[in-house]
Structure 1
Amino acid sequence: MFQTIDKLAVEQLKYALAGVEDNVWSLFAEDGPMRMYTRQIEDEGGLPVDPLKATHSVEGVTALEFMHYFYDARYKMLWDHTLEAMSVVEHISPDSVVLHQKHKTVWPAAPRESLFVSHIRRVDEHKRDGAHDLYIVCNRDVQRADVPLGSSSSVRVGLTVSMICETIVKDPHLHRKLTRDDVKCNIIYVSQVHPGGWVPTAALRHVYKKEYPKFLRTFTEFVKKNVKEKPVSI
């Protein structure tokens, strides 16, 4: 399992840090510093599996803090409003876990579940000039015989999702304790989801173009609210 996770982290880091070419990616959402891009791709059966890429910048938060709330399963039900239920299947190691999620059903689609491994690591060897650090969280679907579908009508979603985050310390020569005003984090989020069973293509694309920006805004506000009164963790 370690080799699989390690390969996933390396692949996703390279993919996330690659540029957004104008002729390949199209911008579909813009809100302050947040930009969201997509490409229209369908699988062999005609199901939409559009990859998504988002860039964002958040003042007053470090990469470690942002990633802590994204990775830690204890918080998922508090910020991910698409979830009906979530459970930890296995703690593989301090930086890797297998999660099982049941998603709220959106008519007329079948109930959907996701089963995936989630991994977090610090990857400073890939950080850009001027960045204090660089972290990645990557998630990919897995199959396990000990986690059956919740019902005969349920569908298991395929997914590859990664979030990459760097901290910028605005004045790296400060010789005092950092405050929220001294830091910001830059975020790259990449996602490709296979819906599993049938879904109406146009409706799915309409939903994700509305829901992805909503997710990133909601999660950002959740993190900012939770770190506001706490000392900077870096």
Structure 2
Amino acid sequence: SERRFGFLKEQQNTFFDPPLPAEKAEAIRKIGFGTNNKIFLEFEEPFWEPDCQLIQVVWEDTSPLQDTAPSMQDAWFKKLIGFLVLPPFGSVHVLCGFIAGLESEFMETLSDEEVLLSLTQVLRRVTGNPQLPAPKSVLRSCWHSAPYTRGSYSYVAVGSTGDDIDLLAQPLPVDDSSTQLQILFAGEATHRTFYSTTHGALLSGWREADRLIGLWDLQSQQPRPRL
């Protein structure tokens, strides 16, 4: 599955009995797993132009050289990448905001009302219209707090390499043709080329399906005992 690596990172010490080999456990520990969420805002009427497809936000008063960083409560929304204008559906007008990192995880701890209020203030500031109507509703993903995902998708973190991805993808037991395969590993975090993507998850599933098919084909070619 695309989003289960976070659960694996969190539960690997208790999920397997016997435990995973040390080198595979270390690869799981080293590979990164982040959080990218979407925030959907529904409006009664669009305030954007009909041909507008993307609203990006640039904060002029921020600097990486600041001595004191503002609190997460006061600045989480500044991590917003921007808002994608979704195609209108009848009378429904929706913006989709993207936010990642620790700020995205903090956003999950807020109520819908707090998120809606903060983003209303952002949009009023961006448009220069203090009377801009607030969105009528908000819907958002919460991938980090979901117990069976614990994040969105993997990345090659500092201290990890593509070799860790390949090691994670190896079935167990490794290089032992005399023992039946017991555990296969699939998901975007196991695809060295397309990690962090849906197609990487799909291709890894096909890879492990082909592995099983090859195994069963070999078994079907073996002579069966006579009754």
- Give yes or no for TM over 0.5: no
The structure with the largest strand share of the pair is 1
The structure with the largest helix share of the pair is 2
- Normalising by structure 2, report the TM-score: 0.28
> Whose relative contact order is higher, 1 or 2, with alpha carbons under 8 Å and at least 6 apart?
2
- Normalising by structure 1, report the TM-score: 0.28
